Amino acid sequence: MKLIVTGGAGFIGSNYIIYTMKAHPEDQVICLDALTYAGNLENLKSVENNPNFTFYKEDIRNREGVYKIFEKEKPDVIINFAAESHVDRSITNPQIFVETNVLGTQVLMDACRKYGIKRYHQVSTDEVYGDLPLDRPDLFFTEQTPIHASSPYSASKASADLLVGAYHRTFGLPCTISRCSNNYGPYQFPEKLIPLMISNAEHDKPLPVYGNGMNVRDWLYVEDHCKAIDLIIRKGTVGEIYNIGGHNEMHNIDIVKIIVKALGKSEDLITYVKDRAGHDRRYAIDPTKIHNELGWLPETMFKDGIQKTIQWYLDNKDWWENIVNGEYQNYYKKMYENR
């Protein structure tokens, strides 16, 4: 099988490529990434010399460039990880989120229609559902939960999901959608909660926590997410949505304290800052459907996954320090500019 993985140099996309090339070494994997600030080719060092791996620097909004790749490669499956994904950035600049997350998705699906594919898979988020009250732990997001986006980021992802559904119904495009809870693990860009707290704590810098830190997220170890997507593209039902959740609900402040303790730092580093505008209170996914239909369950308990993640960042300080000082952006030039 030949797969195009868009956003494959990002956090989840790179983990997916690494996972799938181990699990299915016979497959050909094409990574398409614009290498915006969160794309990092260093994430793919372990596969870059594999003969079944190809990289294209391209923006999914560039119709002409995307069509050329489709025409040349003739892929079987498209997995769209490419997205602007940081809520704070979407509040500052909503436009780029609409352009990439909605219009970029349309370009990809138009390419699929023009050149033909066996499956288009849209990687989405539980944030399209809005949030749940903190005092109702019995409530969970299901695939039937109405869309009720809170931020420009989640609204752009919800818009893309609706467009994918429309392309399936109107044009018969063979699509699936997955909506996941918060991912964590190796190669996550250090603007997100867990890697930010690890990198700041290692430098004894303040650990900024929004509001009172009591917002709840359902945490999913990234490799478990990759395994779920792999099942969906190979065995999932066309036209269906699958929720992927970790059954690991945690208050943000508790995660920060776990990191502080693991690194032997003082909780005095924790600094409470003004809450994010429209900050969702609680996310929690019910993954019953993907379990019943495809047999998937999360394998990594948070207590184990967070320790593995902390250790990975301690073992790979050069990786995140290169990001902090901007050196990672020179990797593409070094590896590909003269090829």
From 126, 218, 224, 230, the catalytic residue? 126
Give CA separation, 70 vs 73, 97, 113, 200, 311, in Å. 5, 24, 11, 42, 39
From 153, 167, 242, 283, the catalytic residue? 153
> What tokens were used for 164?
């994918």
The single-letter code of the amino acid at 83 is A
Measured over the CA atoms of residue 68, residue 69, residue 70 and residue 73, the dihedral's sign is positive
Closest of 162, 63, 52, 146 to residue 110, by C-alpha: 63
Q: Kind of pairing, strands 216-221 and 249-251?
A: antiparallel
Based on the residue annotation, tell me whether 131 is a catalytic residue of this protein.
Answer: no
Based on the residue annotation, tell me whether 332 is a catalytic residue of this protein.
Answer: no
From 84, 127, 223, 230, the catalytic residue? 127
Based on the residue annotation, tell me whether 283 is a catalytic residue of this protein.
Answer: no
> What tokens were used for 201?
């704590």
Cβ proximity of 207 and 200 under 8 Å:
yes
Cβ proximity of 168 and 219 under 8 Å:
no
Q: Which residues are catalytic?
A: 126-127, 153
